[in-house]
């Protein structure tokens, strides 16, 4: 009989898990607590390691239609504006890693996964249902769901995937751990139309501006029509983020960037003028995954931010969720194994890579925001070694073969 997987969460990770599970021959029941599928207005970078997985799912055409494919990654000093190093992307990434380096609006990535999965036979996507509890007994897992109208329902399956994000209830029940904690870093994110920006500020490259205790990253989205800007600085989040006035407090960001070079300040000031609103995100943190037991136990496995929330300094959080889903597909398709063994295999094959990416992201944060002599050393190394420091072959090839600074 066809096995059935229950999935908590319909973000990028949950939809990718649904697609992988369906392709492994499982029936899928996904539960998303929101009453509509939505994604925040921001971009993500997806490296060749992630694009390769999307291609394997037949999504190259859909990606090509909505993503941007930057030609270069540039690293500039936020203080002087000088270019410190550059890495060719474009054709060079395809030549070196067999897939492109893409930048994409989160809603477009979410949308292309949703389009790929929603009409597959045996896939049931349910909105407005929040997973409240789960229990494993007698070779089955049961979840208790709360409907938006307050009704409670129980559903049984052969496995449960917790893809319910960085405040994952599935994780809390499975591992009994403390919640994530604030990292002390704040992210301001905005998306603007490039044609609303002055010509000099429009760009098709990924540019990272590195400054003391802050950095800014900009890149194109949606075939280059949009520009994504994210500024990250050290600081305490407001006590009540819900009532925080995102628009008015753009002034905080401008103040934090007061010592930076004119071209960067011009960009930051142009965002609200071009109709883009800054949204604030306190970045949350958790220690890297310590072993496979943190990703799967019995009939339950964790995926994406539920398993390994990470700082965004290697731009791979959504990417690792997609890699998780591709590995989940391989594991679930091992039809001669018992389900707990399949999930153990998934966890064994994923935990170290996720932990490495989490650790490297943290380290990048320290390097990006360095002050004093460390900053001088970083800038000198970037000038001398250039693209050798920017390329990340172990990550983009996915074979763990070599290490690099960024």
The CB-of-336 to ligand FAD minimum distance in angstroms stands at 30
For residue 389, give the nearest of 379, 374, 398, 401 by alpha carbon: 379
> Looking at residue 178, what DSSP letter applies?
P
Of these, 62, 102, 318, 332, which contacts ligand FAD (CB under 6 A)?
A: 318
Of these, 27, 285, 305, 323, which contacts ligand FAD (CB under 6 A)?
A: 305
What dihedral angle (degrees, nearest 10) is formed by the CA atoms of 400, 364, 179, 303? Answer: -30
Q: Which is nearer to ligand FAD, 306 or 331 (CB)?
A: 306
Q: How many residues does the chain have?
A: 406
Give all strands of the β-sheet with 159-162 in edge-to-edge order.
123-127, 27-32, 4-8, 159-162, 300-302, 296-297
What is the Cα–Cα distance from 96 to 88, expressed in whole angstroms? 11
Alpha-helical segments (H) within 305-338: 317-332
Count of residues that bind ligand FAD according to CB under 6 A: 35
> Looking at residue 224, what DSSP letter applies?
G
Q: State yes or no: residue 253 binds ligand FAD (CB under 6 A).
A: no
CB hemisphere CA count around 354 (13 angstroms): 34
Of these, 5, 8, 125, 201, which contacts ligand FAD (CB under 6 A)?
A: 8
Q: Binding segment for ligand FAD among 12-20, 69-77, 83-91, 147-155 (CB under 6 A)?
A: 12-20
Strands 4-8 and 159-162: parallel
What residues numbered 129-148 form the site for ligand FAD, per CB under 6 A?
130-131
> Looking at residue 290, what DSSP letter applies?
-
What is the Cα–Cα distance from 158 to 26, expressed in whole angstroms? 10
From the list 101, 188, 219, 313, the catalytic residue is: 219
Q: Are 313 and 362 in contact (CB under 8 A)?
A: yes
- State yes or no: is 188 an active-site residue: no
Of these, 163, 226, 231, 389, which contacts ligand FAD (CB under 6 A)?
A: 163
The CB-of-398 to ligand FAD minimum distance in angstroms stands at 14
What is the Cα–Cα distance from 315 to 390, expressed in whole angstroms? 13
What residues numbered 33-92 form the site for ligand FAD, per CB under 6 A?
33-34, 44-46
Q: Binding segment for ligand FAD among 148-156, 203-211, 301-309, 398-406 (CB under 6 A)?
A: 301-309
Q: State yes or no: residue 365 binds ligand FAD (CB under 6 A).
A: no
What is the Cα–Cα distance from 104 to 201, expressed in whole angstroms? 19
For residue 397, give the nearest of 112, 16, 43, 95 by alpha carbon: 95
Q: State yes or no: residue 315 binds ligand FAD (CB under 6 A).
A: yes
Binding mask 97-136 vs ligand FAD (x if CB under 6 A, - otherwise)? ---------------------------------xx-----
Of these, 281, 337, 386, 405, which contacts ligand FAD (CB under 6 A)?
A: 281
> Looking at residue 2, what DSSP letter applies?
-
The CB-of-25 to ligand FAD minimum distance in angstroms stands at 23
Binding site for ligand FAD (CB under 6 A): 8-14, 31-34, 44-46, 130-131, 163-165, 169, 187, 189, 230, 281, 283, 304-306, 312, 315-319, 321
User: Which residues are annotated as catalytic?
Assistant: 219
């Amino acid at each position: 009989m066809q096995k059935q997987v229950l999935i908590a969460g319909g973000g990028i990770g949950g939809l990718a898990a649904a697609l992988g599970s369906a392709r492994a021959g499982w029936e899928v029941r996904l539960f998303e607590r929101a009453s509509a599928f939505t994604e925040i207005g921001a971009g993500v970078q997806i490296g060749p390691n992630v694009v390769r997985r999307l291609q394997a799912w037949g999504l190259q055409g859909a990606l090509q239609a909505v993503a941007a494919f930057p030609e270069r990654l540039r690293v500039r000093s936020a203080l002087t504006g000088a270019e410190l190093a550059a890495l060719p992307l474009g054709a060079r990434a395809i030549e070196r890693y067999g897939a492109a380096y893409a930048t994409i609006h989160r809603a477009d990535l979410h949308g292309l996964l949703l389009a790929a999965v929603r009409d597959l036979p045996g896939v049931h996507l349910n909105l407005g249902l929040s997973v409240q509890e789960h229990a494993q007994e007698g070779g089955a897992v049961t979840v208790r769901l709360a409907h938006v109208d307050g009704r409670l329902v129980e559903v049984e399956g052969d496995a449960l995937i917790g893809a319910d994000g960085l405040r994952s209830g599935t994780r809390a029940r499975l591992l009994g751990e403390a919640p994530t904690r604030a990292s002390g870093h704040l992210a301001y994110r905005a998306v603007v139309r490039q044609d609303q920006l002055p010509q000099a500020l429009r760009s098709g490259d990924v540019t990272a501006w590195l400054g003391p205790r802050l950095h800014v990253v900009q890149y194109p989205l949606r075939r280059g029509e949009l520009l994504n800007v994210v500024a990250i600085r050290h600081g305490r989040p407001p006590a009540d983020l819900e009532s925080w006035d995102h628009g008015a407090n753009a002034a905080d960001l401008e103040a934090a960037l007061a010592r930076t070079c004119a071209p960067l300040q011009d960009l930051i000031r142009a965002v609200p003028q071009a109709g883009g609103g800054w949204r604030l995100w306190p970045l949350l943190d958790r220690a890297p995954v310590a072993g496979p037991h943190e990703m799967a136990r019995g009939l339950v496995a964790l995926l994406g931010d539920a398993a390994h929330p990470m700082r965004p300094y290697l731009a791979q959080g959504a990417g690792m969720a997609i890699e998780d889903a591709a590995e989940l597909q391989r594991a679930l398709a091992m039809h001669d194994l018992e389900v707990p063994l399949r999930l153990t295999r998934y966890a064994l094959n994923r935990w170290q890579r996720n932990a490495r990416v989490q650790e490297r992201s943290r380290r990048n944060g320290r390097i990006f925001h360095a002050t004093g002599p460390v900053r001088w050393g970083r800038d000198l190394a970037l000038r001398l070694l250039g693209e050798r420091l920017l390329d990340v072959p172990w990550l983009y090839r996915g074979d763990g073969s070599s290490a690099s600074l960024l």
